[in-house]
Structure 1
Amino acid sequence: MRNDTAPRSLLQPMTAGFLAALVGFGSAFPIVLQGLSAVGASPAQAASGLLALCIVTGLLGAAHSIATRQPISIAWSTPGAALLIATGVPEGGFPAAVGAFIVAGGLVVIAGLWRPFGRAVVAIPMGLASAMLAGVLLDLCLAPVRAVGALPELALPIVVTWALGWRFARLYAVPLAVLVAVLIILIATPIPEGALADIWPNPVLVMPEFTLPAVVSIAVPLFIVTMASQNVPGLAVLRGNGYRPEVAPVFVSTGLFGAASALFGGHAVNLAAITAALCAGPEAHPDPARRYLAPVAAGVAYVLLGLFAGFAASFIAASPPLLIQAVAGLALLSSLAGALAGALGRDDERLPAVVTFVTTASGVGFFGIGSAFWGLVAGGLLLALGRSGAVR
């Protein structure tokens, strides 16, 4: 009996872990590559960033899970990558963006080490943080509609595949849409000769530059989005499944390793939120004490998937941008729905949240600082003004 159950007890968490990695990678890698390209990365630098994120994600998730015997899943910040798409190239180009990534990682470390700062971050009204994220995501989530209008014969099959996947197998809806998009691009659109010649990812060291506009428009919103939409929900998933990990080591390690990955183009790593449920729930193993093996398997899978980063970057760079944007928009629709629900959840924060949303979604920046920061400022000022006049 022992010989029969031992392999099965390993197979289930390993399967769950590999599935979590495949879903996480397949759903989000186009967003990561687009985000890095949007802030000035070359295809080689974007591939290097994706490779660095895969390696750091895999190693950190496996290390934390083995050390704590808890299913602590690590992921890159998909909402953070969406923020980069909306922000655009900062003054100073990609080196300035890399400097902002390092600052964002440093802020995560401070949140882990200095409890008052961590509590202050958590105290940011969730309605405003959610509204900022929704404003960042809105334009991206309009891309599928624009693609259907401009290229209906190419985009409509992708959207229909996603819709059918959402109806019958929601976990696979986005990966299936990505697969169909790849097939359509290969069959129906010309790929320039030689575009996919160099498919192996090579680490590219990027020397950072630290500029105030990039720190304010990229680092601060990236930090807030990562904490509010990834780390806090990730902790909620773990606690909902009966796990109570120490927060400080997770924040410090993800901040430090995220900053290290920035030197090779990565933007941010954090606790996984959506795919964490696959590794922390009963699907990973009936025995909660054995579920920590799932993130270990996911870590191995992420490192292996990183080997495809060069091909993915070259393929996306050679593909019609509108189709890639459509796939990214479909992948972010659930995030937009959650952000809108969070933004409008409280009556006293609703109008300030709407102000944050429309200011961020406008894309209008001032003094070289992007609209996400000004959205938080505008909503925060209105919220403070409303509370200062509240009847006591």
Structure 2
Amino acid sequence: MSSANSTSLSSFHWRDFIHPLVAGLISVIVNYGGTFILVFQAAKVAGLSPELTASWVWSVSIGVGVTGLILSWVYREPIITAWSTPAAAFLVTALATTSHAEAVGAYLVSAAVFVILGISGWFERVIRLIPACVAAALLAGILLQFGIKAFGGMSVDPMLAGLLIIAYVVFKRASARYAVVGILLLGLAFLLVAGRIDLSGMALRVASPVFTAPVFSLNALLSVALPLFLITLTGQYMPGMLVLRNDGFKTSANPILTVTGLGSLLMAPFGSHAFNIAAITAAICTGREAHEDPAKRWIAGIVAGICYILVGVFGVTLAAVFMAFPATFITTLAGLALLGTIAGSLATAMADARTREAALITFIASAANITLLGIGGAFWGLAIGLVAYTALHGRLPQQVVNAAMVPIPANKLVK
């Protein structure tokens, strides 16, 4: 572990914990409030019982929490993990024709391939091939829709969205460091006073994991395992690693793939489909909003991991709490929290006039969120950007190619 990212807890002042704590909490709220409904939809399509659904919530939440906590602690970087959102969306249709036992078998196969990919080191070499301007433009394009939704909420819920936007600007003027903290607390207070969150019917219940023996079939391998692997690799791992790189964090992709793959392997028999490094919610924790000092942002990963574990312990109950927040609150909060990252990514992407056009093409292609052959916008935005960069400049930067060709020592594969 390098000295640059080995900041110990003893070097923290109590104020240093506020921003990463809030960043970690917001990333968890956005994840559950924004995308977890897909898990419930997939469970309904599959005809799962309440017990099996609760086990799915337990396994994916505990797995995400433990892997993110371990990676953030070991590498002292905000390595946020999450369930595969595009994979959950895919499962909404795929589970209609696949039994639960066969799906579990497919989850195991997909997870095993991720472990092999992490140990081999090939994915890290691919990441090194991507020019910095293309990576920054890709991230800015992916995040743009979240910034737009923050202001688009004015059409749906003008009072709530307007309050958060105005408060954000006022807090930025008064104390930029506490702007995101301020809008989170103000928004929650407004929702509680206005009676917009109904928690009266909720009671804490400890989740009970249910083991399902896997069944392996060629049909599930081709129709679930293979798409699950490709969708998670291109839609989660690729942009997730670029989020880390964009904010200056250097942890290799190899241990991240290996640890999350092993976690998915262990949790698959209890219903977890796949978890991986986060992309959108990670950006909330890796940027300056989480802390001015990058060496102290890893606390956000610890906080997020603990929150996920707590949700997992209490299963569906706490997930339902997060999902009780109005959609406008989630989208506006996420978009405002990501404004700094969007601005920084755009500045990096457009900094060099020589590569500006390739970066612009990447940005627009990523923002378009193209979906072809079942593969999402992050992959196509990156592919178009790399083609544009190569066509305009003849080749990838030589130093990037040389770095990618350097063999990765075996003892670095699990660093």
Return the TM-score normalized by structure 1: 0.69
Residue 303 (str. 1) matches residue 306 (str. 2): yes
Residue 118 of structure 1 and its aligned partner are, at CA, apart by 2.1
Map 1:257-296; keep pairs closer than 5 Å.
257=263, 260=266, 264=272, 267-269=275-277, 273-274=286-287, 275=290, 280=295
* CA distance in 2: counterparts of 1:105 and 1:33, whole angstroms: 26
Q: Which residue of 1 aligns with 2:117?
A: 110
* CA distance in 2: counterparts of 1:389 and 1:250, whole angstroms: 29
- RMSD over aligned Cα atoms: 4.5
* CA distance in 2: counterparts of 1:276 and 1:172, whole angstroms: 10
Q: Which residue of 1 aligns with 2:90?
A: 90
Q: Which residue of 1 aligns with 2:65?
A: 54
Residue 325 of structure 1 and its aligned partner are, at CA, apart by 1.2
Taking a change above 3 Å as real, the CA distance of residues 154 and 41 of structure 1, as seen in their structure-2 partners, is: same
Residue 222 of structure 1 and its aligned partner are, at CA, apart by 1.5
Deviates more, 1:349-358 or 1:162-171: 162-171
1:113-168 C-alpha deviation (Å, 9 max, x unpaired): 44565233211122223222222211111122122343222222222333344344
Give the aligned residue type for 2:161: A
Residue 318 (str. 1) matches residue 319 (str. 2): no
Q: Secondary structure at the match of 2:79?
A: strand
Give the aligned residue type for 2:309: G
Residue 375 of structure 1 and its aligned partner are, at CA, apart by 1.7
Counterpart contact for 2:130–2:386, Cα < 8 Å: no
1:50-84 C-alpha deviation (Å, 9 max, x unpaired): 4432233224444x2xxxxxx62453158x98xx4
Q: Secondary structure at the match of 1:347?
A: coil
1:161-195 C-alpha deviation (Å, 9 max, x unpaired): 33344344444432332222222222324445765
Q: Secondary structure at the match of 2:371?
A: coil
Counterpart contact for 1:104–1:219, Cα < 8 Å: no
Map 1:140-155; keep pairs closer than 5 Å.
140-155=146-161
Residue 334 of structure 1 and its aligned partner are, at CA, apart by 1.9
Taking a change above 3 Å as real, the CA distance of residues 346 and 91 of structure 1, as seen in their structure-2 partners, is: farther
Taking a change above 3 Å as real, the CA distance of residues 380 and 344 of structure 1, as seen in their structure-2 partners, is: same
Q: Which residue of 2 aligns with 1:288?
A: none
Unaligned runs of 5+ in 2: 1-7, 42-52, 215-219, 397-415
Deviates more, 1:227-236 or 1:96-105: 96-105
* CA distance in 2: counterparts of 1:261 and 1:170, whole angstroms: 41
Counterpart contact for 1:17–1:278, Cα < 8 Å: no
Residue 253 of structure 1 and its aligned partner are, at CA, apart by 3.3
Residue 385 of structure 1 and its aligned partner are, at CA, apart by 2.3
Taking a change above 3 Å as real, the CA distance of residues 298 and 92 of structure 1, as seen in their structure-2 partners, is: closer
* CA distance in 1: counterparts of 2:117 and 2:111, whole angstroms: 10
Counterpart contact for 2:161–2:332, Cα < 8 Å: yes
Please point out which of 180, 183, 206 is paired with 1:177. Answer: 183
* CA distance in 1: counterparts of 2:293 and 2:207, whole angstroms: 29
Q: Which residue of 1 aligns with 2:192?
A: 186
Q: Which residue of 2 aligns with 1:289?
A: none
Q: Which residue of 2 aligns with 1:360?
A: 366
Counterpart contact for 1:76–1:269, Cα < 8 Å: yes
Please point out which of 216, 224, 247 is paired with 2:238. Answer: 224
* CA distance in 2: counterparts of 1:178 and 1:161, whole angstroms: 10
Moved over 6 A (4+): 94-102, 204-209
Residue 210 (str. 1) matches residue 224 (str. 2): yes
Residue 314 of structure 1 and its aligned partner are, at CA, apart by 1.4
Q: Secondary structure at the match of 1:90?
A: helix
Q: Which residue of 2 aligns with 1:129?
A: 135
Residue 386 (str. 1) matches residue 392 (str. 2): yes
Unaligned runs of 5+ in 1: 1-8, 65-70, 237-244, 285-293
Taking a change above 3 Å as real, the CA distance of residues 50 and 170 of structure 1, as seen in their structure-2 partners, is: farther
Q: Which residue of 2 aligns with 1:33?
A: 32
Return the TM-score normalized by structure 2: 0.65
Counterpart contact for 2:235–2:376, Cα < 8 Å: no
Please point out which of 331, 339, 350 is paired with 2:337. Answer: 331
Counterpart contact for 1:138–1:336, Cα < 8 Å: yes
Q: Which residue of 1 aligns with 2:76?
A: 72
* CA distance in 2: counterparts of 1:183 and 1:13, whole angstroms: 29
Deviates more, 1:100-109 or 1:363-372: 100-109
Deviates more, 1:18-27 or 1:272-281: 272-281
Residue 318 of structure 1 and its aligned partner are, at CA, apart by 2.4
* CA distance in 2: counterparts of 1:129 and 1:100, whole angstroms: 29
Taking a change above 3 Å as real, the CA distance of residues 388 and 14 of structure 1, as seen in their structure-2 partners, is: closer
Taking a change above 3 Å as real, the CA distance of residues 125 and 143 of structure 1, as seen in their structure-2 partners, is: same
Residue 346 of structure 1 and its aligned partner are, at CA, apart by 3.3
Residue 28 of structure 1 and its aligned partner are, at CA, apart by 0.9
Please point out which of 161, 164, 169 is paired with 1:163. Answer: 169
Q: Secondary structure at the match of 2:342?
A: helix
Deviates more, 1:150-159 or 1:99-108: 99-108
Give the aligned residue type for 2:345: A
* CA distance in 2: counterparts of 1:205 and 1:164, whole angstroms: 51
Taking a change above 3 Å as real, the CA distance of residues 49 and 178 of structure 1, as seen in their structure-2 partners, is: farther
Map 1:241-252; keep pairs closer than 5 Å.
252=258
